[in-house]
Copies of this chain bind each other. A is one copy, B any other.
């Protein structure tokens, strides 16, 4: 891919701080590990920045493509309907163009985390940590 890549990590949002903390920390981890990527966050509900504010926060960064990644475990109404609608992305076509700094920027919508050996590995790690904690 030519150009500069942005990742918009999307969270559900919550009255509790935990969802926001996880999305923020995961975004920070991506930014530290892949330093050529511009990482921003946005929340569907209850927390700030909103998804639109998250998109707007790429202004001035020079990104040519933004990938919106739902930091959700699985698909559901939010990832299949609410978020695509907010992003202006249709269900059959997972890509659109947005204006940023007067330029056209490609916006691509990714799959949520989903089932993956990395999730299995992490769930097993949390199990062992709980066991150690109780030992």
Quick one: which of A33, A77, A134 has the most chain B CB within 10 A?
A134
Decide if A16 touches B76 in the complex (CB within 8 Å): yes
Interface flag for A100 (CB, 8 Å) = no
Number of interface residues of A (CB under 8 A): 56
Interface string of A104-135 (1 = CB under 8 A from B): 00101111111111111111111101110111
Which residues of A in the span 77-124 have a Cβ within 8 Å of any Cβ on B?
A: 77, 80, 94-95, 106, 108-124
Chain A residues within CB distance 8 Å of chain B: 1, 5, 7, 9, 14, 16, 18-19, 21-22, 25-26, 29-30, 33-34, 65, 67, 69, 71-77, 80, 94-95, 106, 108-127, 129-131, 133-135
